[in-house]
Chains A and B, each alone.
Chain A
Amino acid sequence: MNTATTGLQSARIGTGLLDSTRPVSFQFNGRSYTGLQGDTLASALLANEQRLVGRSFKYHRPRGIFSAGSEEPNALVELGSGAYREPNTRATVTELFEGLEARSQNHRGPLSFDVMAINDHLSSFLSAGFYYKTFMWPKAFWEKVYEPVIRAAAGLGSLSMQEDPDTYDKGFLHADLLIVGAGPSGLAAALTAGRAGLRVIIADDDFLAGGRLNAEQMEVDGMPSAQWAARSHAELCSMPNVRCLLRTSVYGAFDHGIYGALQRCTDHLPDKSSEKPRQILWRIYARQTLLGAGATERSIAFANNDRPGIMLAGAVRTYMNRFGVAPGKEVVVFTNNDDGWRTAADLTRAGVSLAAIIDTRTTSAPMKLPGVRIVMGGQVITTRGRLGLRSVTLHDGQTLPCDCLAVAGGWSPNVHLTCHQRGRPVWRQGIAAFVPGAELPQGMRVIGAANGSLGLSSALTEGHRTAVRIIEASGIGKNTSSSPVAEQESTRITAFWHVSASRGRAWIDLQNDVTTKDIALSFKEGFRSVEHLKRYTTLGMATDQGKTSNVLGLAVMPQLSGKTIQDTGTTIFRPPYTPIPIAALAGRSRGKHFRPVRHTPSHQWAQDNGGDFVETGMWLRAQWYTREGETHWRQSVDREVLQTRRAVGICDVTTLGKIDIQGKDAAAFLDRVYANTFSTLAVGKVRYGLMLREDGFVMDDGTTARLGDTHFLMTTTTANAVSVFRHLEFCRQCLWPEMDVHLISATEQWAQYAIAGPQARALLEGVVDAPFDISNETFPFMACAELTVFNGTPARLFRISFSGELAYELAVPTRYGHSLMEALMQHGKQFDVVAYGTEALGVMRIEKGHAAGNELNGQTTAANLGLGRMVSTKKDCIGAVLSKRPAMNTENAIQLVGFMPEDSAQSLRAGAHFLSEDAEETTANDQGWMTSVAWSPVLNSSIGLGFITNGSNRQGERIKAYDPVRGESYPVRIVSPHFVDPDGERLRG
Chain B
Amino acid sequence: MLIDHPLLGLRDASEFVYLGDASLMNRPDATAADASQQFHDYLHLRDNPAGLHRELWYHEQGDRSWLIVTRDTLTHEISHVELARDVSLAHRATDQEGGA
CB <8 Å contact, A737 and B89: yes
CB <8 Å contact, B2 and A258: yes
Of all chain B residues, which has the CB nearest A439? B75
The listed residue (B2, B19, B35, B83) touching A881 by CB distance below 8 A is B35
Chain A, range 243-266, C-beta contacts under 8 Å to B: 254-258
A285 to B15, CA, bound (A): 15
A730 interface residue (CB < 8 Å to B)? yes
A254 to B85, CA, bound (A): 30
Chain A, range 725-743, C-beta contacts under 8 Å to B: 726, 729-730, 733-735, 737-738
A954 interface residue (CB < 8 Å to B)? no
Residues from chain A with a CB closer than 8 A to the CB of B28 are 881
Residues from chain B with a CB closer than 8 A to the CB of A876 are 30-31
Beta-carbon contacts of B1-21 to A below 8 Å, as 1s and 0s?
110000000101000010100
A86 to B40, CA, bound (A): 57
CB <8 Å contact, A730 and B31: no
- Contacts A733-B84, A882-B40 given; indicate if A255 touches B2 (C-beta within 8 A): yes
Chain A, range 863-889, C-beta contacts under 8 Å to B: 876, 880-882, 884-885
**Interface of B (DSSP majority class):** mixed
CB <8 Å contact, B64 and A729: yes
| Other contacts beyond A256-B2, A733-B88: 19, CB < 8 A | A255-B2, A255-B76, A256-B10, A694-B39, A694-B43, A695-B43, A722-B60, A729-B58, A730-B19, A730-B58, A733-B66, A734-B56, A734-B66, A734-B84, A735-B27, A738-B89, A880-B30, A882-B39, A882-B43
B36 interface residue (CB < 8 Å to A)? yes
A-B contact pairs, 13 of them (CB 8 A): A256-B1, A256-B76, A257-B2, A695-B43, A733-B66, A734-B88, A735-B25, A738-B89, A876-B31, A881-B36, A881-B39, A882-B39, A882-B43
B18 CB to nearest chain A CB (Å): 11
Chain B, range 32-48, C-beta contacts under 8 Å to A: 35-36, 39-40, 42-43
Of all chain B residues, which has the CB nearest A722? B60
Residues from chain B with a CB closer than 8 A to the CB of A726 are 17, 58, 60
B69 CB to nearest chain A CB (Å): 12
A442 to B92, CA, bound (A): 37
Of all chain A residues, which has the CB nearest B27? A735
The listed residue (B17, B25, B60) touching A734 by CB distance below 8 A is B25
Of all chain B residues, which has the CB nearest A885? B36
Chain A, range 615-660, C-beta contacts under 8 Å to B: none
CB <8 Å contact, B92 and A733: no
CB <8 Å contact, B85 and A737: yes
A694 to B24, CA, bound (A): 11
| Residues of chain A having any CB pair with chain B under 8 Å | 254-258, 285, 421, 442, 694-695, 722, 726, 729-730, 733-735, 737-738, 876, 880-882, 884-885
A402 to B76, CA, bound (A): 55
B5 CB to nearest chain A CB (Å): 13
Residue of A695, A730, A733 with highest tally of chain B CB at under 10 A: A733
A285 to B2, CA, bound (A): 9
A33 CB to nearest chain B CB (Å): 47
CB <8 Å contact, A738 and B92: yes
CB <8 Å contact, A737 and B36: no
Of all chain B residues, which has the CB nearest A723? B17
Of all chain A residues, which has the CB nearest B42? A694
CB <8 Å contact, A737 and B92: yes
A733 to B78, CA, bound (A): 22
- Contacts A729-B58, A734-B24 given; indicate if A884 touches B92 (C-beta within 8 A): no
A258 to B10, CA, bound (A): 12
Of all chain B residues, which has the CB nearest A886? B36
Residues from chain A with a CB closer than 8 A to the CB of B89 are 737-738
Residues from chain A with a CB closer than 8 A to the CB of B12 are 258, 285
CB <8 Å contact, B66 and A884: no
Of all chain B residues, which has the CB nearest A876? B30
B30 CB to nearest chain A CB (Å): 4
Of all chain A residues, which has the CB nearest B76? A255
Of all chain A residues, which has the CB nearest B86? A737
Closest 10 CB pairs of A and B: A876-B30, A256-B2, A733-B85, A737-B88, A255-B1, A881-B39, A733-B66, A737-B85, A734-B84, A737-B89
A881 to B36, CA, bound (A): 6
B19 CB to nearest chain A CB (Å): 7
A321 to B27, CA, bound (A): 72
Residues from chain B with a CB closer than 8 A to the CB of A730 are 19, 56, 58, 66
Of all chain A residues, which has the CB nearest B37? A881
A301 to B52, CA, bound (A): 47
A828 to B56, CA, bound (A): 51
Residues from chain B with a CB closer than 8 A to the CB of A257 are 2
Residues from chain A with a CB closer than 8 A to the CB of B17 are 726
A255 to B84, CA, bound (A): 24
Beta-carbon contacts of B52-84 to A below 8 Å, as 1s and 0s?
000010101000111000000001111000011
Of all chain B residues, which has the CB nearest A287? B10
A936 CB to nearest chain B CB (Å): 40
B96 CB to nearest chain A CB (Å): 10
Residues from chain A with a CB closer than 8 A to the CB of B1 are 254-256, 258
Residues from chain A with a CB closer than 8 A to the CB of B88 are 733-735, 737
Residues from chain B with a CB closer than 8 A to the CB of A442 are 77
Residue of A257, A734, A735, A880 with highest tally of chain B CB at under 10 A: A734
Residues from chain A with a CB closer than 8 A to the CB of B60 are 722, 726
A745 CB to nearest chain B CB (Å): 10
Residues from chain A with a CB closer than 8 A to the CB of B36 are 881-882, 884-885
B95 CB to nearest chain A CB (Å): 11
Residues from chain A with a CB closer than 8 A to the CB of B40 are 882
Residues from chain A with a CB closer than 8 A to the CB of B43 are 694-695, 882
- Contacts A738-B92, A881-B36 given; indicate if A733 touches B2 (C-beta within 8 A): no
A737 to B85, CA, bound (A): 6
A349 to B32, CA, bound (A): 91
- Contacts A256-B2, A729-B64 given; indicate if A734 touches B85 (C-beta within 8 A): yes
Residues from chain A with a CB closer than 8 A to the CB of B77 are 442
Residues from chain A with a CB closer than 8 A to the CB of B92 are 737-738
Residues from chain A with a CB closer than 8 A to the CB of B19 are 730
Residues from chain B with a CB closer than 8 A to the CB of A882 are 36, 39-40, 43
Of all chain A residues, which has the CB nearest B40? A882
Of all chain B residues, which has the CB nearest A884? B36
Of all chain A residues, which has the CB nearest B91? A737
Residues from chain A with a CB closer than 8 A to the CB of B65 are 733
A439 CB to nearest chain B CB (Å): 9
Residue of A442, A729, A876, A881 with highest tally of chain B CB at under 10 A: A881
Of all chain B residues, which has the CB nearest A172? B12
A751 to B39, CA, bound (A): 40
A285 to B27, CA, bound (A): 38
A737 to B83, CA, bound (A): 11
Of all chain A residues, which has the CB nearest B58? A726
Residues from chain B with a CB closer than 8 A to the CB of A880 are 30
Of all chain A residues, which has the CB nearest B93? A738
Residues from chain B with a CB closer than 8 A to the CB of A285 are 2, 10, 12
A737 to B2, CA, bound (A): 26
A273 CB to nearest chain B CB (Å): 34
Of all chain A residues, which has the CB nearest B32? A881
A419 to B50, CA, bound (A): 21
Of all chain B residues, which has the CB nearest A743? B64
Of all chain B residues, which has the CB nearest A442? B77
A901 CB to nearest chain B CB (Å): 41
Of all chain A residues, which has the CB nearest B39? A881
B99 CB to nearest chain A CB (Å): 14
CB <8 Å contact, A881 and B25: no
Of all chain A residues, which has the CB nearest B87? A734
A738 to B85, CA, bound (A): 9
Of all chain B residues, which has the CB nearest A258? B2
A137 CB to nearest chain B CB (Å): 42
A735 to B85, CA, bound (A): 8
- Contacts A256-B76, A734-B85, A738-B89 given; indicate if A729 touches B2 (C-beta within 8 A): no
Residues from chain A with a CB closer than 8 A to the CB of B76 are 255-256
A875 to B89, CA, bound (A): 23
Residues from chain B with a CB closer than 8 A to the CB of A254 are 1
Of all chain A residues, which has the CB nearest B75? A421
